Amino acid sequence: MGVEDFKARARTAWAAGDFPRIARETVSDVGPAIVDAVGIRTGAKVLDVAAGSGATSIPAALAGGDVVASDLTPELLEAGRHAAIAAQVAIPWVEADAEALPFADASFDVVLSTFGAMFAPRHRVVADELLRVTRPGGTIALTTWTPAGFVGQMFMTMAPYAPALPDGASPPILWGDEDHVRALLGDGVTELAFERRIQHVTRFASPDELVDYYRAHLGPMIATFHALEPDPSRAAELDAELRKLAERTRVDGEWTFEYLQIIARRA
């Protein structure tokens, strides 16, 4: 499978579920937190890459930023448009590939991505694009799932059951490794700060409820199980692994969704 085929499958997968609901119900604090950490000023030109349904774009606009939201999946952009109208903010929603952003060099003061750009297949290409569209002295701020947290482990559990990555692609979870990010951004930044943060999730009454929720609403998981329909034994094996993961990572009735907050200054 080539890179473009992979992206087409990814677009379909993210549209298959209800990611806006997941963002709203499990990680709603993350967007406002990174907007606060960056300190977006009134009138700052802001790009949200792989913006999904606007969980970060909208808080950035409410903080006074002149925000453009971009994403590969039109269905998520449409959900974002409706959410922005409800929040009474004006945001352009642009269908765009994180590996080929349709914006001029150095055109944004702040470039954001929360759990988005990390899923594009070629990390070096994505990092180069993030650097390219950020003005010198501007800010790049990302959040990425870590291998240690529940969500990172969930994606790693699914990976062997999903189609192989195309040549030149890297696993998304590598964006949760500080050394990997340092290597990607390299001399393109003059400052680079990492903070490991925890989203405490208590909404699920049991491990089974958590797995059932993601099976019903997370597009990549829906797509993975759909691809396994011709092999019910493999599907059952994946389901059992996910339930074991949910069981062993539950502590005192909650799950810790660990993520890496990355804030860099463009050289």
Q: What is the pLDDT along the chain (267 residues), one digit of tens a residue?
A: 689 999 999 999 999 999 999 999 999 999 999 999 999 999 999 999 999 999 999 999 999 999 999 999 999 999 999 999 999 999 999 999 999 999 999 999 999 999 999 999 999 999 999 999 999 999 999 999 999 999 999 999 999 999 889 999 999 999 999 999 999 999 999 999 999 999 999 999 999 999 999 999 999 999 999 999 999 999 999 999 999 999 999 999 999 999 999 999 999
State how far the Cα of 145 lies from the Cα of 148, in Å rounded to an integer.
Answer: 8
Long-range contacts of 246-251 (CB under 8 A, 24+ apart): 246/150, 246/207, 246/208, 246/210, 246/211, 247/207, 249/150, 249/153, 250/207
Q: Is 169 helix (H, G, I), strand (E, B) or coil?
A: coil
State how far the Cα of 225 lies from the Cα of 228, in Å rounded to an integer.
Answer: 5
Q: Is residue 153 part of a domain?
A: yes
**What is the domain extent for residue 41?**
3-202+254-266
Q: Answer whether 0.85 is exceeded by the pTM.
A: yes
Q: Is residue 218 part of a domain?
A: no
Q: Is residue 96 part of a domain?
A: yes
Q: Count CB-CB contacts under 10 A for residue 184.
A: 20
What DSSP character marks residue 166? Answer: P
φ and ψ of 232, to 5 deg: -60, -30
Which CATH number do you get for residue 192? 3.40.50.150
Structure token digits, residue 239:
């389901």
- Name the domain count of the chain: 1
